[in-house]
Amino acid sequence: MSDNRPTTSDYEYLDENGIDIELKCAICRQPFLSPVSLTICGHTFCKQCIKTWFIRAPTCPTCRQYAISYVKRDNRLVQTFPYVAINIRVVTNQLDRLLVRCLLCDETNIQRCHWQIHQKRCAKRRVICPAADLKCLWEGTRETLSAHLNTCTYYQMQPAINELKNELTTVQVIQNELKNSVTMLEKKVEFLLKFINHGQIMMASCSESENDCRYNTINDLHHVWRFLCSICNEYVPRDQIQLHACSGNCICRSCVYSQYSDHRQINELLS
């Protein structure tokens, strides 16, 4: 059953006076919709009715006991739901089987549990044009909808417009893929330019005597040297440097592996 209470223009109960008082909400005086029971006292109300009531007062409408409770979560008080849903089959079945009459088309003997089904086919219910998303402003009863659709330009254009929307979505996906490809290629170009290093191509091992290499820290045990990676601009220790030019710049291991996920490509680069 829905939480949304129908308006008085929707339907009326057949033999409302004969409906058991125990099946009626003390707030709206109508048969329960989505009945809930207060944990503090056990009194039952429509879920939407009691939620609206608690906005005005934190007490049970029947016995006036304080019903709102709080629990402490993350150093703050959070309001808890002071009610539980009524799921007793004998109660919900009685409510579902109540008979109603549609006040729009005058159809009668509709079980309340089938009301939403009736709403979807009621000839007298007001509906909007299926092409309302295209700015068609028509509104009328369901029984007049077919006649409107025969002359509605918006509705007749809808298939073509939907096809264009689908094509646009496809183009946008392709565009995003191309943008990602361009971004990846730009990163590769940047990496290769740094790797070429103005003609002093970086290598995994020293191209000069280790003693002449600025990255040789073996003879300087008193300092923990860190070097600036040309790609990520982060300072890294010597053991994290993957490529370097002995008298120039360097690239850290993380940048190499993020650029070349395939280990064969990395081996080719380092060879």
- Are 30 and 115 part of one and the same domain? yes
CB 45 within 8 A of CB 61: yes
Domain limits for position 152: 125-184
197 backbone φψ class: left, alpha, beta (φ>0; ψ -120 to 50): left
Structural domains counted in the chain: 3
Residue 163 lies inside a defined structural domain of this protein:
yes
pLDDT tens for each residue of 102-161: 999 999 999 999 999 999 999 999 999 999 999 999 999 999 999 999 999 999 999 999
Last residue within a domain, chosen from 109, 124, 139: 124
On the question of pLDDT at 228 being above 60, the answer is: yes
Residue 2 lies inside a defined structural domain of this protein:
no
- Are 178 and 237 part of one and the same domain? no
Mean pLDDT, residues 164-168: 95
Residue 139 lies inside a defined structural domain of this protein:
yes
Split at pLDDT 50, 70, 90, the class of 10 is: confident
- Are 99 and 161 part of one and the same domain? no
Residue 194 lies inside a defined structural domain of this protein:
no
- Are 91 and 49 part of one and the same domain? yes
- Are 179 and 251 part of one and the same domain? no
Query: What is the model's pTM?
Result: 0.57
Last residue within a domain, chosen from 83, 105, 124: 124
CATH code of the domain in which 76 resides: 3.30.40.10
Residue 5 lies inside a defined structural domain of this protein:
no
Residue 132 lies inside a defined structural domain of this protein:
yes
- Are 33 and 115 part of one and the same domain? yes
Q: Does residue 171 sit in helix, strand or coil?
A: helix
- The helix (H) or strand (E) run that includes residue 226 is strand 226-228
CB 247 within 8 A of CB 200: yes
- Are 209 and 243 part of one and the same domain? yes
Split at pLDDT 50, 70, 90, the class of 265 is: low
Distance CA 230, CA 69 (A): 59
Last residue within a domain, chosen from 124, 146, 163: 124
Q: Does residue 242 sit in helix, strand or coil?
A: strand
- Residue from 115, 122, 142 nearest 130 by CA: 142
* Residue 128 DSSP class: E
- Are 47 and 116 part of one and the same domain? yes
- Are 15 and 107 part of one and the same domain? yes
Task: Tell me the two tokens of residue 41.
Answer: 């006292």
pLDDT tens for each residue of 180-222: 999 989 888 888 888 888 778 888 888 777 677 888 776 565 5
- Are 26 and 43 part of one and the same domain? yes
Residue 6 lies inside a defined structural domain of this protein:
no
On the question of pLDDT at 8 being above 60, the answer is: no
Residue 141 lies inside a defined structural domain of this protein:
yes
Neighbouring CB atoms inside 10 A of 15's CB total 8
pLDDT at residue number 269 = 59
pLDDT at residue number 201 = 82
CB 112 within 8 A of CB 100: yes
- Are 55 and 110 part of one and the same domain? yes
- Are 38 and 80 part of one and the same domain? yes
